[in-house]
Amino acid sequence: MITIFGVPTAALFGQLLVGLINGSFYALLSLGLAVIFGLLRVINFAHGAQYMLGAFAAYLLSLWLGLGYWSALILAPVLVGLAGAVVERTMLSRLYKLDHLYGLLFTFGLALTIEGTFRYIYGAAGQPYPTPEALAGGVNLGFMFLPIYRGWVVVASMIVCLAVWLLIEKTKLGSYLRAATENPILVQSFGVNVPLLLTFTYGLGAALAAFAGVLAAPIYQVSPLMGSNIIIIVFAVVVIGGMGSILGAIVTGYLLGIAEGLTKVFYPEASNIVVFVIMAIVLILRPAGLFGKDV
Amino acid sequence: MRKLLTSAAAIGLLAAPALAQVSDDKVKIGILNDQSGVYANFGGRYSYEAALMAVEDFGGTVLGAPVEVTTADHQNKADIASNIARQWYDTEQVDSIMELTTSSVALAVQALSKEANKITITTGAATTELTGAQCSPYGFHWAYDTHALAVGTGGALVEQGGDSWYFLTADYAFGYSLEENTGNFVKANGGEVVGAVRHPLASTDFSSFLLQAQASGAKVIGLANAGADTQNAIKQAAEFGIVQGGQRLAALLFTLSEVNGLGAEAAQGLTLTESFYWNRTDASREFGKRFFERTQAMPNMIHAATYSAVTSYLKAIEAAGTDETEAVAAKLKELPVQDLFAENGVVAPNGRMIKDVYLMEVKAPDQITEPWDYYNVLSTIPGDVAYIKPAESGCPLVTQ
């Protein structure tokens, strides 16, 4: 058997693929965070809670209305996105004129409230959510057994990441959004409704988190704490990628997933800190992040 | 005014004989465990509820003094738990601390309580160290331990031909203890341990670890973890086709609460060891139904053992005629434990409560006739087989 550093290549490829799958979640979540930070300058601590809400929305839609995975994949992000828009319009928008810290504190409080409420109602252990029929089972790739659903997660997240990037970088709506961040007053004087744009952006960020939540539901237990488990890593991803850099968030998400996967082969005990070690190194060498613009 | 004072003093004198033996005129029990993390359903608020039931069933008072129960969340952190324990002892008149899910926490609080001259009864943690090298004259261990789990689940699987093992181990005291106990048992019965991988507590993704376990070719993958970690590992093992590939999963610490969370579909066929099952005897069924009315969940062995621990503690105070630690600890070791949790329990000199444990199998979904009716009881393992003999435990309190 061929080995690299004492690890069989087959195992290595398997781990790389698993890393890519985890990276898909990091990429989707950090993308939403980067969009919100880039355009609203709000550090959205409620992102993990919105991810959890997406998974719970899927679970509750199936429990109450009997709706399956595919409807949930569309409906849950829409619902959570709308809820996000309401929060932005009624509460968050009042904080833009204040220091960034207030937005951070508000979203952090919101996250604790939402998670606490769900924990109170559903307990911490988590609810099961079945894998959709069409994606059940797996294929043997020779070097590993790939569950079809995990393959789908990689594909779906790549498509969504690409779509959001195109939306912001290449469309007219995206150019309004970017212009509104640069100079809101000027853009407003051209007749563009800037507050509405910001509401849309926050709703979009929340919807992306919820989309990741629905994707995660069949793999992990649907649990009130699933968001707080992953959000810290996602923040590290955004910092490494460069705060507000959309492309940076996506690329770093996948890269760190892979880095974490490799750590699990060579030194498993370090797998939950490797991301932070990389973050510390990047901050020392390039404080603006890998893809951030130097200030 | 003087008259009022005199009568107050008189009442005080009259009341005194009944209360004289109980410090602070009340007995206060603290239930300290994980109420928000990976083990929140394993023990959690349900254990607090079980303790309240025990106090109510006991009549709410002992030696004429009221019994109170307080509770806190230690977040699985030994430092937070130690701070809470100190505060309870120093300023809140807590007389004993129970439950103590998570081995690292239980070891820290038991050591601290030994210094503070207070009783602990651990029901939620698993490490045999509690009644081994780190035992305490005032520390007791109810419910189960890693040795009992190894003998139960490990023994059953080796007997069925599972003679090569690979461990997926939670990276802290409990995981090591469970891995070591089970590994030793497997080796002693002619099997071998081909490897192990350690994962951080509260991991969400086990796929990397599972792939390594799969590649090892071991017949049995031993999950030396607990709570939500084990649930996720089992769920994801199904995804990666591990059981279809011919390897068996051994959930070394898995209780009714986790089976319910995982669902019978995914959990069916699992072999596991618990020291209590609600649907086993009339007494346990009656307790289960009452517990369910309060919590909407059936009790697992941690909850039933917490009920038993509180009851035994109150009985010991009654028998000792005081809540003074030395005397109560002596009575706890002297009195037999006979309640809905233990029919034939005895407390060994090292603080280990020894009773039968049961090997269970999770039923297939179509065999389940009522909600929470998840288990077939495969066999009963006598207490003296399940637990380490006190003389061999390494506890300095046991005189050879």
**Which of A8, A15, A145 is facing B208, going by the closest CB pair?**
A15
Q: Bridge-partner residues for B62, per DSSP?
A: B65
Residue B6, pLDDT score: 53
Residue B296 gets the label, from left (phi > 0), alpha (psi -120 to 50) or beta, of left
The per-residue pLDDT for B85 is: 97
Q: Are A268 and B199 an interchain contact pair (Cβ–Cβ within 8 Å)?
A: yes
Mean predicted confidence (pLDDT) in A64-91:
94
In chain B, residues with a C-beta closer than 8 Å to the C-beta of A15 are 208, 211
Distance from CA of A63 to the nearest CA of B (A): 15
**B204/A125 Cβ within 8 A:** no
Give the DSSP H/E element, type plus range, for residue B197: strand B192-199
Q: Average pLDDT, stretch A111-120?
A: 90
Residue pairs spanning A and B at CB distance below 8 A: 102
A62 contacts in chain B (CB < 8 Å): none
Cβ contact A248:A291 at 8 Å: yes
Answer whether residue A177 shows pLDDT above 90. no
**Closest-CA residue in chain B for A143?**
B215
pLDDT of residue B19: 47
pLDDT of residue B240: 84
Q: ipTM score of the complex?
A: 0.72
Range with the poorest average pLDDT among A1-10, A223-232, B266-275: A1-10
Contacts of B209 in chain A (CB under 8 A): 264, 268
Q: pLDDT-based confidence at A136, cuts 50/70/90?
A: confident
Q: What is residue A226's predicted lDDT score, i.e. its pLDDT?
A: 86
Say yes or no for a CB contact (<8 Å) between B208 and A124. no
Contact state of A11 with B266 under an 8 Å Cβ cutoff: no
In the prediction, which pLDDT does A8 show? 67
Q: Which residues of A touch B298 (CB under 8 A)?
A: none
User: Minimal CA–CA distance to B313: which of B329, B300, B302?
Assistant: B329
Put simply, the answer to whether A264 touches B209 (Cβ < 8 Å) is yes
Residues of A within 8 A of B203 (CB-CB) are 272
Of A127, A219, A269, the CB nearest to B171: A269
Determine, for residues B198 and A261 on separate chains, whether the beta-carbon distance falls below 8 Å.
Answer: no
Contact (CB<8Å) A264/B41 = no
- Both tokens of A238, joined, read 């955004």
Q: Which residues on chain B are in Cβ contact (under 8 Å) with A149?
A: 239
How far apart (Å, rounded) are the C-alpha atoms in residues A257 and A86? 33
Instruction: Report which DSSP code applies to B364.
Output: P
User: Global pTM?
Assistant: 0.77
Contact (CB, 8 A) for A244 and A289 = no
Residue B4's pLDDT is 53
What is the C-alpha separation between A128 and A110, in angstroms, rounded? 25
Q: Is residue B336 within 8 Å of residue B346, measured between CB atoms?
A: yes
Partners of residue B261 in chain A, C-beta under 8 Å: 125-128, 221
B75 touches chain A (CB under 8 A): no
Q: What is the pLDDT of residue B207?
A: 86
pLDDT higher than 50, residue A14 = yes
Q: Which residues of B touch A269 (CB under 8 A)?
A: 171, 198, 200
Average pLDDT over residues A26-47: 90
Does the beta-carbon distance from B231 to A125 stay under 8 Å? yes
- Residue in chain A closest to B213 (alpha carbons) equals A11
> Are B256 and B302 spatial neighbours (Cβ–Cβ below 8 Å)?
no
Inter-chain touch A225–B36, beta carbons under 8 Å = yes
B104 near B34, Cβ under 8 Å? Answer: no
Q: What is the pLDDT of residue B5?
A: 52
> Taking CB atoms and an 8 Å limit, are A147 and B240 in contact across chains?
yes
State the smallest CA–CA distance between residue B39 and chain A in angstroms.
8
CA of A12 vs chain B CAs: smallest distance (Å):
10
Q: Which of A125, A223, A225 sits opposite B258 (nearest CB)?
A: A125
Interchain CB distance below 8 Å, A15 and B211: yes
Task: Summarize the confidence of residues A182-191 as an average pLDDT.
Answer: 85
Question: What does the pLDDT read at residue B8?
Answer: 52
Tell me the nearest-neighbour CA distance from A115 into chain B, angstroms. Answer: 10
Residues 141-180 on B with a CB inside 8 Å of A are 171
pLDDT given for residue B305 in this prediction? 97
Tens-binned pLDDT, residue by residue, of chain B (400 aa): 555 555 555 554 444 444 458 888 999 999 999 988 778 888 999 999 999 999 999 999 999 999 999 999 998 899 999 999 999 999 999 999 999 999 999 999 999 999 999 999 999 999 999 999 999 999 999 999 999 999 999 988 898 888 999 999 999 888 998 999 999 999 998 899 999 999 988 787 888 889 889 888 899 999 999 887 898 899 888 888 888 788 888 899 999 998 988 888 888 888 899 999 999 999 999 999 999 999 999 999 999 999 999 999 999 999 999 999 999 999 999 999 999 999 989 999 999 999 999 999 999 999 999 999 999 999 999 999 999 999 999 999 987 5
Instruction: Say if the Cβ atoms of B215 and A11 lie within 8 Å.
Output: yes
**Which tokens is A26 given?**
């990091």
Q: Which residue in the set A123, A229, A268 is minimally distant from B40, CB to CB?
A: A123
B109, containing H or E segment: helix B103-116
Q: How confident is the model at residue A267 (pLDDT cuts 50, 70, 90)?
A: confident
B7 touches chain A (CB under 8 A): no
The torsion angle over the Cα atoms of residues A182, A187, A192 and A195, rounded to 10 degrees, is 50
